[in-house]
Amino acid sequence: MSDVRTVPVALGARSYDVRIGRGLLARAGDHIAPLTRRGTVWVVTEETVARHHLAALQAGLSAGGLSARVLTLPPGEATKSWHWLQHTVEWLLAERVERRDIVVAFGGGVIGDLVGFAAAILRRGVRFVQIPTSLLAQVDSSVGGKTGINTAHGKNLVGAFHQPGLVLADIDVLDTMTGRDFRAGYGEVVKYGLLGDAEFFAWLEEHGPALAAGDPTLRAHAVRRSVEMKAEIVARDETEEGDRALLNLGHTFGHALEAATGYSDRLLHGEGVAIGCALAFELSSRLGLCSQEDPSRVRAHLAAMGLRRDLHEIPGDLPDADGLLRLMGQDKKVVAGQLRFILARGIGHAFVTADVPTGAVRALLADALAAR
Ligand code: GLY
């Protein structure tokens, strides 16, 4: 077997491993079989992932003595909805999936969040395994147990914390991602360096372009370091009472921009996070928390990676600063009506605060919009 690195997520009785490496699909059965007494697992995936990788997963499960029943959903963010949640739960019930059975979420963030939520509410909680197939899902959404769907009121507003029993991140599946999706996922990787590991950010500045070009060793390192950081924060604060909000660096701005662009391909989630990180560092610098060089360095790296970093790179119209502020008010980090921001005292030194003058945020957004 090729080199597989394991990152434990330490959550007491709900602890699990994230296994990262090449060729993991081919060994999926060996990894999952110890978790179940049945010879079958229930795989929920989407059409694009199924076209590229389902045969390899089924062969890998079969090599480990497991057969798979498969539900294939449409690709895209619109699948993270009440409709497809109901469809998935009804399918699992029709299949007579029991609490101790294993449901496999095989796809990117949409599938992981939707299937994780279906597993959370089915029979008050069945076990599930995440096999994330996008960079974003490997470094962020498959780890930590946040599951849910979108509604007309916003993204991820309905959901549950439900930890997987295992995460298998096969680096090879990233090869079939489009360049834009990969770069968007990279927005989340940069986030980890920016929030808590300046050395990792410097490593990304040096190796990011080769990693994006496809180097599997560099990719495995970036996924592992990101997952280590996430696992450590989640183990400290599983349900986001405090430090876990650090993982939302760039997300308060990013979610507002995603809402303003209708969750469409005008702006992918990770692209919103990248722009949001640039704005969070700009705000931190304006508030005198970090040096003026820090936002410039963030933006330079995003530019080097072909990622958007300015509002003018978003096609089409955007609301004005007050409109964006209103959209930020739907953020899950709002406490007693007060928005909490993730700001930084420098690269690798983020912190959570509710103490941000609204006027400073409005002025930042107005300036960013005026530069369009
Ligand atoms: N994606 C942020 C978190 O899992 O907390």
pLDDT for the residue 178: 94
Instruction: State yes or no: is 80 an active-site residue.
Output: no
- Average pLDDT score over residue span 92-110: 97
- Each residue's pLDDT tens digit, 153-212: 878 889 999 999 999 999 999 999 999 999 999 999 999 999 999 999 999 999 999 999
Domains of the chain: 5-176 (3.40.50.1970), 179-370 (1.20.1090.10)
Measured in Å, residue 203 CA sits from the centre of ligand 1 at: 23
- Each residue's pLDDT tens digit, 226-275: 999 999 999 999 999 999 999 999 999 998 999 899 888 899 999 999 99
Rounded distance, CA 342 to CA 47, Å?
A: 36
- Each residue's pLDDT tens digit, 356-372: 999 999 999 999 999 86
pLDDT for the residue 331: 61
The residue annotated as part of the active site, out of 46, 240, 258, 282, is 240
Q: Using 50, 70 and 90 to split pLDDT, how confident is the model at 333?
A: low
- Each residue's pLDDT tens digit, 182-193: 999 999 999 999
Q: Which of 244, 258, 273 to mutate to test the pocket of ligand 1 (most atoms within 8 A of CB)?
A: 244
Where helices occur in the chain by DSSP H, the ranges are 28-32, 47-49, 55-63, 82-94, 109-121, 135-136, 179-196, 198-213, 216-236, 251-260, 269-286, 293-304, 321-328, 358-370
pLDDT for the residue 1: 47
Give me 189's structure tokens. 């990787």
Instruction: State yes or no: is 255 an active-site residue.
Output: yes
- Which amino acid is it at 177? M
Q: Using 50, 70 and 90 to split pLDDT, how confident is the model at 337?
A: low
DSSP-based three-state secondary structure for 326:
helix
Instruction: State yes or no: is 308 an active-site residue.
Output: no
- Average pLDDT score over residue span 16-37: 98
Ligand 1 contacts (CB < 6 A) are: 140, 144, 146, 244, 247-248
